[in-house]
Structure 1
């Protein structure tokens, strides 16, 4: 609902339209923006941004009725007596209110970064990257979203620390070179995921015809890729594994150790092909045109 309020302008009263919400409308806001059980504050704020929380304008007394939005007791306490977000807006956006409440509850950016957890896939890594971007967006006043935050050294270090070991060699150059916006680095990571995924079909093709052959010393487990023993040995040797740790070991054990190598160190040619070709890391270029970061609607 909208309510007309008289505002003095040059000695005359001029009507100004101010947004107010009915109880039912506030309940709708709670349903859309409520923090889920177990959902960290950074992930919650990113979701509030993606759901266009920066377009929902609220007066202070309206926000005080929305304390149930947060599962975090510290944030909920701040929302009961909210601090005015930076700026002169009469009714700041819900996103600005929430960012201010989280910033007051967690005044150290380190406390917020600690909310991000380990990740296993690049897609999940992008989510963690945007959460770290949100931590710095809150630290700098909560005016921008996570994608429009500059990549800091702390963001890089935390993202790499939380990454799985097998992806760190491929991520290192890409992440350390990311000196622009979080949104740009997120797009580059998605491009990297596409490049790394391209090596998998070649590995499957290389394994065709091997599934029916028994491996000396025992084969890989059912349902896993079949890779010739000599390829496993060669890759492990070139990766720095001592020959004494390879000779006489069951093929199944060698295979498990081979799978722990970075993708760039695992051969992708079949046994019958000449030489051993490695899937070289591909330096990401422009992000795929079909993928876009979430934007407020």
Structure 2
């Protein structure tokens, strides 16, 4: 029910003046039956204005239909991103603006303990540690907290790429050379193990060995016996039977022509 007054505020509905009969004609636009019932016979907003604004009329109708602030706060749902969290925050601010008579908008509403608790309760678990200190430290208005959350979103977005680069850097330190790093990333351990086994390497010499050692030994195999080349060559079809290699023959001088 607070979404309509919030949209009216965001679209300068506080400057659109309506008479009571004009508001009654808008009741069909409300999807909430309780608000629609109030708009059919709208209560007079607080103040002495003869023609209150559209925003003031809507706030009064919603406030009469939902006199409890808890009912309005309960309309907010869980959120996953900070951008969505800012929308939920402004929704909670709108609920309190209605509770206080609809003279101000959601951004000018003071951040109450209830707003803080509800926003944190609906937040995703992975963001709660970062949000806790930020939200609890704010002692101003909803618009101020929204701006702080935007800054937090920017900070978290900048930290993710650095964390990814750091993780990749630590992974690279464990590799023995650029060629080996490329090979380990492209060749799964299972492929290394099977190729070595089919090439005649005894099972006890490869079982339990580090992937780095398997890769070094795999690179000494002839290219025809490697399912995946170090440059990402197309792997063979393992569903086809592998022909046994020919027995080794003694080396001979080339025959003269």
Q: Secondary structure at the match of 1:141?
A: coil
Question: Shift of the alpha carbon at 1:61?
Answer: 1.1
Q: Secondary structure at the match of 2:127?
A: helix
Pick closer, same or farther for the CA change 1:217–1:153 going to 2, 3 Å. Answer: farther
Q: Secondary structure at the match of 2:2?
A: helix
Aligned residue pairs, count:
178
The yes-or-no answer on 1:127 pairing with 2:98 is no
Residue correspondence of structure 1 range 102-181 to structure 2 within 5 A: 102-181=62-141
Which of the two has higher C-alpha Rg?
2
Pick closer, same or farther for the CA change 1:217–1:151 going to 2, 3 Å. Answer: farther
Pick closer, same or farther for the CA change 1:212–1:128 going to 2, 3 Å. Answer: farther
Pick closer, same or farther for the CA change 1:82–1:165 going to 2, 3 Å. Answer: same
Match of 2:15 in 1: 55
String of CA shifts for 1:77-119, please: whole Å, max 9, x gaps: 0000010000111110000000000001100000000000000
Pick closer, same or farther for the CA change 1:185–1:160 going to 2, 3 Å. Answer: same
Match of 2:61 in 1: 101
Normalised TM-score (structure 1): 0.57
The yes-or-no answer on 1:187 pairing with 2:166 is no
Q: Distance in 1 between matches of 2:66 and 2:182?
A: 55
Question: Shift of the alpha carbon at 1:45?
Answer: 2.1
Output the aligned Cα RMSD. 2.0
The yes-or-no answer on 1:213 pairing with 2:171 is no
Q: Secondary structure at the match of 1:83?
A: coil
Match of 2:6 in 1: 46
CA contact (8 A) 2:93 2:106 kept: yes
String of CA shifts for 1:52-80, please: whole Å, max 9, x gaps: 11111001111111112211010000000
CA contact (8 A) 1:42 1:116 kept: no
> Between Structure 1 and Structure 2, which shows a larger proportion of strand residues?
1
Match of 2:45 in 1: 85
CA contact (8 A) 2:4 2:58 kept: no
The yes-or-no answer on 1:71 pairing with 2:42 is no
Q: Distance in 2 between matches of 1:177 and 1:122?
A: 17
Instruction: Give ranges in structure 2 of 5+ residues lacking alignment.
Output: 173-180, 191-257
Question: Shift of the alpha carbon at 1:217?
Answer: 8.6
String of CA shifts for 1:204-259, please: whole Å, max 9, x gaps: 323376786359999xxxxxxxxxxxxxxxxxxxxxxxxxxxxxxxxxxxxxxxxx
CA contact (8 A) 1:56 1:93 kept: yes
> Between Structure 1 and Structure 2, which shows a larger proportion of helix residues?
2
Q: Secondary structure at the match of 1:186?
A: helix
Q: Distance in 1 between matches of 2:115 and 2:50?
A: 33
Q: Distance in 1 between matches of 2:6 and 2:76?
A: 12
Q: Secondary structure at the match of 1:165?
A: coil
Q: Distance in 2 between matches of 1:212 and 1:44?
A: 58
Instruction: Give ranges in structure 1 of 5+ residues lacking alignment.
Output: 1-40, 219-297
Q: Distance in 2 between matches of 1:78 and 1:183?
A: 29
Question: Shift of the alpha carbon at 1:154?
Answer: 0.2
Q: Secondary structure at the match of 2:57?
A: helix
